[in-house]
Structure formats: structure tokens, C-alpha cells
Structure 1
Amino acid sequence: MGNCLSCCEADSHQGSTLTPGTQPLQQVQRSRGLVQYPATEFKELKRPVSTENQNQGRVLAPTTEKKMFPQYTKIPPLKKQGNGETKRLSFVSKDISEAKILQLYEQYKDPVEELILAEGIEHFCQDLEVKPEEFIVLLIAWNFKAETMCKFTKDEFVNGCKNLKVDSIKSIRSKFPELEAEMQNKQSFKHLYKWTYKFCLDNDSGQRTLPVDVAISLWKLVFTGSEPTLLEDWLEFLEKHPTIKGIPKDTWDMFLNFVEQVGDDLSTYDDTEAWPSLLDDFVEHENDKKNQNVKTD
């Protein structure tokens, strides 16, 4: 290693071996003097000193059994975090066949238009063993992100099946309990409720307000299994007032907040809040009914 460390010379120049304890110190020749190392650090050489190195006045450094750096078991390389996820996703993608989804779409597609229309949806519901007016069909349309009632575009149907991870009638039916259970989540139900209004508008005619009869049917449908106490009185109120021609979107949206806040008997209704006028009229109507039923002496 350059001039820093000169080669060692044997003490007797005869290549004799060293044994711990035979002499107190092993002298090593350096270029700038003598550096002494304890002889106990050396053990008996297992092979004689090279003759070639003796001729050059050099002796190989003593071989010791103790190594400066111990050998550790090699640590296996870390697995990439994404490997497991990649395998999982690829496994899922193998479970769902896009070809089967497309085949299913073609089975219900209109023969002329690139859409599944009312007749195809009816056939679709028959295969699912449900009726088109059932709540589960609304849930399927919501999960397909359909924009218009009685119509599925190719993208809506195909992407909807992919999102649900289904590619057959049997697998769609197997999702029914999961779709219905999701409605126990208040936020999910709120999204479904608000989406329903726009979904049922007739976009082709530029419709902006739901006809009362359509809105009544939708309220009955969307509250399947979770009907508010006030719903029956509300629908009766609408049916008894023929002057009410349509339900605006703000009235539809606010009705959900209304039934959550005013209580089952309207006892917590606050007329200072900005409720739609139709809801104010309903409260007044209900109060009049109660007053008429009060017996006086």
C-alpha cells in the first residue's frame, strides 16, 4: 500500500512460523522505523512463507483465522410494495371477462340503435327475475351511472358491469344483497336520492320539472324499505291538489332534509327556515287537518 506500510520481514529471515507466546512482540519493519504488534495477535501459519517473496526480502502478512469482518447471512432484497397490489388487480381482471360483458350487451341491444332501450331493459329484467319498477333496478341504473331512464348506452352498461365486477346474469344477481346493503349508508342513499330526480327527467323533450304523478311514483320507489312517517301524508296532499302540476328539483332535494328535521308529527317544523313554498303549504294543510279533528266542548 505505497510507502505507508513496508513489507514485513521474518524475524529469523528463515521463514519460520510464529506461535502465540513464543516471543513478547513481533517486530515489523516500516520505512520510517519499527512498529511493534503483540505476538498474541498471530497464530501459527498454516503454510510456509513464499520462497519467491523471501528472495525479494519480503514476507507475506501472516494469515490469521480470525477475520476482521464476520460473514453475515445475505439479506434478501425487499419486495416492491406494488407487487402484491399488481398481482391482486391482475387476478381480479382475469375474473371479469370484457368479452362476456360485450356479449351480454349485444343480447339486449336495440337492433337498430347502439343502445339498450325499454324493450331490451325489460328483457334484461326478466333474465334477472325482477320487475322494471323494482327498487333493485333503480340501484343497478345508479351503479351504471345511467343518465336517462329506460336507456343504457354501451359505455354505461359495459363500464357499469366492470365497476360492479360482473359479467353475467348470475354474477349481477349475486350483487343484489350488496347493493341493497349500501343503502344503509346515509350518504350513499342521499347520492342515490338526488341522482334519481335527474335520471327520470325526459331529456329529449328538454324537461326541467318532474310531473307530479312521476314524482309520486319515484318517492314510493326510492323510499322502498325506509319509508318516512310523513311520506304517506305528503303524497296524499299532492294527489288532492290538482293545481300542483310539477315538482321542482329544489323541492325534491329539500324533502329529504325536511323529513329528517321536522319529526314524525311536524313538531319541530320552523317556519322561519327557507323551505320551498310547497312544503310550507303541506305543513299548513296538516295543521288544518289536526285542528278540524279537535273536539270542542
Structure 2
Amino acid sequence: MARPLKANLKQQFISITETNSTTATAWLEKYKWKLEDAMNAYLSNGGVAGEIDETNKGVTLNDIDEDLVKIYEKYQDGQNKEIIDIDGTFQYLEDLGIDPEDMISLTLSYFLESPSTGIFNKSSFLTRWNNEQINNLKDMKVYLEEYQKRINEDMKEFEKIYMFTFDFIKSNRIDKTVNYELSISYWKLLFNQRPEFQNDTWERLEQWFKFVEDEYKRDFSKDSWKMFYYFVKDIISQDPKEFKDYDEMSAWPSVIDEYVEYLRENQLLIE
């Protein structure tokens, strides 16, 4: 096959699956450069098998603690042993004593670089825990509780997990947006962790949730998700009463401008 055609197929694969060049090449070569077959196989596999993480590259079972391997194998998917699927994830959380609806469940997914809700990649699972020299459920729980504290105390860490969440909660890799109701659920989960987002700021967030649910009723792009975080951090939390640093001429997503207008129309924002 001509090199320009291969490059075009690879670019299409990357554009649709949002994976990297190395992974795209590997899957296309596996399916003899048949784009549809390669994408279907990749996505049906959870979009994780074959994914190459540079921090995990070269890791073999010989490098991993045997007890940790046994933990992974307890939860691995019966059909695809490269992942822990939804059933295994629920059992893993239950054995850890973690409520799937609790923030620490999201922290676990962030720590293990979960590609989507309910999925853990074998390579990341084994490597991340092995790097921390943890090979039992009790120590995993202790580590996660300490890690959660770091996220709650460090704004940079909090920002990282916030940005991670958008891709994590997408229905699949092809989607470019996240459902607005699901977005609200995760905003409540995330912003409730930080003290600077409580009291008057939380009141504004509740008004945002109501605006999105009752008025906006549209899904959110990655850019809108990202910019809303900065709007909360730099505008709302700095001056919840008046939004004195808000400039409607700045490049905020339209949904944020609509929210501010909504507050003004309902006499909820002092000017």
C-alpha cells in the first residue's frame, strides 16, 4: 500500500478514536490496513488493548509482584484478559470497601489511568501498583485515601483529575461531548471536594446546575468543560456576589455567557 494512503488511514483512525500514532499503526497493521475492521476491533475492545503507555513500556509479568498479579487476575475480564471490565470493577471496589459513587472511586480511576468508566487496563493496573510497591487490598485502600487527601489539598492535582474526568465519562472515544446531566453529577462530585468552592461559590454552582438542567439542556464539549473549571476558579470563587473579573468580551464559551445573562435576567447577579 502506498505510504500517503497509509498516512491518511492512520490519521482517520487517530481522529475518530483519539488515540496516539503508535497505537493507530499497530491496530491498522494487525488488520492489514482495513480501517473499518481495525476501528471496530479497537473500540469493541474498550479502546484499551494495544494502547501504549510510555511509563509502562517493556513491563512484563516477570517484573510484577506475584501477589499483585493474582489480585489482577481475580478481577480480569473472562473474554479479554487485558482489561478489568465493569463486573470486575464493581467487585474490586466492593473488596476495597469503596462506594462506586464516592469521590475516591474516581480517584482510583485517575490513579490507574482508566480509559473509560468501569474499565481498567492491565498494564496500568499492574505497573501503577507495582511502582508503589503495593500488592494487597488493604494497602491499596490506605494509599487511595492518602492520595485523595493530596488531591483535596493541592489545586494542581485537583485540576488534573478534573480535566481527566471529561474523557473518562464519555460514552466512547468517538463522542466529542458529555451528556449535560452526567456533567452535573460529576461537577457536584468534584467541586464538593474543595473548600474554596463552598458557601457562596457553591450557591452559584447550584444556580449553574439549575440553569443547565432547566434552560441549557445541551451536552458539553471538552473545551466548555475545561473553561467552566477556570470560570469557577478565577471568576466565581474570587467574587461570588458580583463576578467582578468577568468580561463578556473575553473568549468564554457561549454557555457561560448565557449563564451570566440568565443570572441577570432573574436578578440573581448584582451589577
- Going from structure 1 to structure 2, the CA distance change for 1:169 and 1:277 (only over 3 Å counts) comes to same
Q: Deviations over 1:95-143 (max 9, x none)?
A: x961111100011112222121111111011111111121101111111
Q: 1:44-89: CA deviations, max 9, x gaps?
A: xxxxxxxxxxxxxxxxxxxxxxxxxxxxxxxxxxxxxxxxxxxxxx
- 2-side partners of 1:200 and 1:173: how far apart? 23
Quote the sequence identity (%). 27
Partners of 2:241 and 2:193 in 1: CA distance: 20
Q: Given the two structures, how large is their TM-score scaled by the length of structure 1?
A: 0.62
Cα gap change, 1:164/1:219 in structure 2, threshold over 3 Å: closer, same or farther?
farther
2:167 corresponds, among 198, 207, 211, to: 198
In the alignment, the residues of structure 2 paired with residue 164 and residue 136 of structure 1 have an alpha-carbon distance, to the nearest angstrom, of 18
- TM-superposed CA distance for 1:282, in Å, is 0.2
Say whether the 8 Å CA contact 2:64–2:126 is kept in structure 1: no
Match of 1:151 in 2: 119
**Paired position in structure 2 for 1:52:** none
Aligned equivalents of 1:291 and 1:212: distance in 2? 22
2:75 touches 2:92 (CA, 8 Å); kept in 1?
yes
Alignment partner, residue 225 of structure 1: 193
Offset at 1:245?
2.2
Match status 1:280 vs 2:257:
yes
Gaps of 5+ in 1: 1-95
Taking only aligned residues, the RMSD between alpha carbons, in angstroms, comes to 2.0
- Indicate how the Cα distance of structure 1 residues 164 and 149 shifts in structure 2: closer, same or farther if over 3 A, else same: farther
Instruction: Provide closer, same or farther for how the CA distance between residues 108 and 149 of structure 1 changes in structure 2, counting only shifts above 3 A.
Output: same
CA contact (8 A) 1:266 1:283 kept: no
In proportion to residue count, which structure has more helix?
A: 2
8 A Cα contact 1:108 1:120, kept in partner: yes
Determine if contact 2:104/2:145 at 8 Å carries over to the other structure.
Answer: no
Higher RCO (CA < 8 A, seq sep 6+)? 2
- Residues 201, 283 of structure 1: alpha-carbon distance in 2 compared, 3 angstrom cutoff: same
3-state SS, counterpart of residue 267 of structure 2: helix
Deviation at 1:159, TM superposition (A): 1.4
Partner of 1:176: 144
Q: How many residues align?
A: 196
Match of 1:270 among 236, 247, 250: 247
Instruction: Decide whether aligned partners of structure 1 residues 176 and 249 sit closer, same or farther in structure 2, where only a CA change above 3 A counts.
Output: same
- Aligned-pair distance for 1:146? 1.6
Question: Within the alignment, does 1:163 sit opposite 2:143 as a pair?
Answer: no
Corresponding residue number in structure 2 for 1:208: 176
TM-score, structure 2 normalization: 0.68
**Distance change >3 Å, CA 265–CA 116, structure 1 → 2:** same
Shift of 1:291: 6.5
Paired letter, 1:111: G
Letter in 2 for 1:208: K
Alignment of 1:14-163 (within 5 A): 98-114=65-81, 115-163=83-131
Q: Is the 8 A contact 1:209 1:248 kept in 2?
A: yes
Q: Distance in 2 between matches of 1:224 and 1:130?
A: 18
Q: Could you tell me how far 1:160 is from its partner in structure 2?
A: 2.1
Report if the CA contact (8 A) 2:113-2:120 is conserved. no
Unaligned residue ranges in structure 2 (runs of 5+): 1-62
Contact 1:135 1:224 in 2 (8 A): no
CA distance in 2, matches of 1:221, 1:139: 11
Partner of 1:290, secondary structure, is: coil
Q: Tell whether the 8 Å contact from 2:241 to 2:269 is kept in structure 1 after alignment.
A: no
Taking structure 1 as reference, are residues 237 and 165 closer, same or farther at Cα in structure 2, changes over 3 Å only? Answer: farther
Distance (Å, rounded) in 2 between the aligned partners of 1:145 and 1:254: 23
CA distance in 1, matches of 2:159, 2:220: 18
Change (3 A) 1:264 1:120: same
